[in-house]
Amino acid sequence: MIDKEKIYDAALIIKNSEYIVVFSGAGISTESGIDDFRSPHGLWSRYDPGIYANYQYFLKDPSLFWKMHKEIEDLVDTVEPNQSHLVIAELEKMGKVKAVITQNIDMLHQKAGTGRFGAKIYQLHGEYGKLQCVKCHKEFEYEEIDTKNVDYPVCDCSGYIKPKVILFGESLPHGVLEGAMSECTNADCLIVVGSSLLVSPANFMPSIAKQYGAQIIFINRENTIMDDLADVFLKGSAGEIFAELLKVIKT
Ligand code: NAD
């Protein structure tokens, strides 16, 4: 059951805010059919991210990463944004949301229309849509490289080719973290949705925003390690909560 009183509290914060920043994690996309790290029978129970999504393992044997990534590619090509992504895009249209910082690589914020009214998107963990050679750093579009009929793609220079997603052990894309942190300093409200807040440095965002005076709304199915930062914690399904929030904001 959604706590109605807390919905009203959060809706009031949103109504009174002019520079909302959204920080999303894998949990925002579970209702679109992409598992987060916590789903008991999901992708990550078959592919330990510490191995399959680890840069050092990739450099030793890229076939492990590509085995997992081919499943993700098939998913990302077919999934659609859910209520949470759509309401965030609607809040941008209403002039509220100015930036979305996401840990996800699934492009669902973009598919939902985020960015159409000027909001910036910071993809902390890289871009799904592009590939790059880890040796000569040449970039490729997906259409240029056969990723389906090989164990793993290799560049003309003999380097391994990897999507521009960030694996454990890799640095974040240049400038993206700095841009995201700067948005948090400008925010009057930060909405944190679907993240366990266990992955650093992405999980610095709520404390930066708090330090600079933002009000913080958490939307998550379970408690996180940073709950004490939240002004309002809305516990439950993100899609249902965003739908309720929008109803109250529009009344
Ligand atoms: P996480 O898996 O550590 O935590 C997800 C959180 O969302 C959990 O606390 C869970 O209870 C909550 N949750 C799940 N479904 C929810 C729902 N419908 N409504 C509300 N809450 C829900 O995710 P994280 O903090 O983003 O860290 C995982 C890392 O894995 C990130 O680095 C991310 O890049 C990557 N990842 C990305 C995707 C994607 O692109 N969709 C999917 C899996 C993992």
Domain identity same for 185 and 157:
no
Protein residues whose CB sits closer than 6 Å to any atom of ligand 1: 25-27, 29-31, 34, 36-38, 103-106, 125, 194-196, 198-199, 220-222, 237-238
| DSSP-assigned letter for residue 244 | H
Q: What's the pLDDT at 76?
A: 86
Total structural domains within the chain: 2
Atom number, ligand 1, closest to the C-alpha of residue 103:
34
Domain identity same for 121 and 145:
no
User: Can you name the residues that pair with 122 across neighbouring β-strands?
Assistant: 101
d(CA 197, CA 122): 17
CATH of the domain at 145: 3.30.1600.10
| Total-model pTM | 0.94
- For the stretch 35-61, pLDDT in tens is 887 777 777 788 998 999 999 999 999
Domain identity same for 121 and 131:
no
Report the 3 state secondary structure along 152-194: CCECCCCCEEEEEECCECCCCCCCHHHHHHHHHHHCCEEEEEC
| Ligand 1 center to 136 CA (angstroms) | 32
- For the stretch 76-122, pLDDT in tens is 889 999 999 999 999 999 999 999 999 999 999 999 999 999 999 99
CATH of the domain at 237: 3.40.50.1220
- For the stretch 203-222, pLDDT in tens is 999 999 999 999 999 999 99
Confidence of residue 201 (pLDDT cuts 50, 70, 90): very high
Residue that has been written with the tokens 């290799």 in this structure: 154
- Residues 115 and 89: beta-carbon distance below 8 Å: no
d(CA 125, CA 25): 10
- Domain span at 159: 35-78+126-165
**Residue 125 is among the residues annotated as catalytic for this protein:** yes
Domain identity same for 251 and 228:
yes
Domain identity same for 228 and 139:
no
Query: Under 8 Å CB-to-CB from 183, ≥6 apart: which residues?
Result: 21, 98, 99, 101, 120, 122
Domain identity same for 48 and 95:
no
Give the residue, by CA position, lying nearest to ligand 1 atom 15. 27
Query: Out of 69, 85, 109, 125, which one is annotated catalytic?
Result: 125
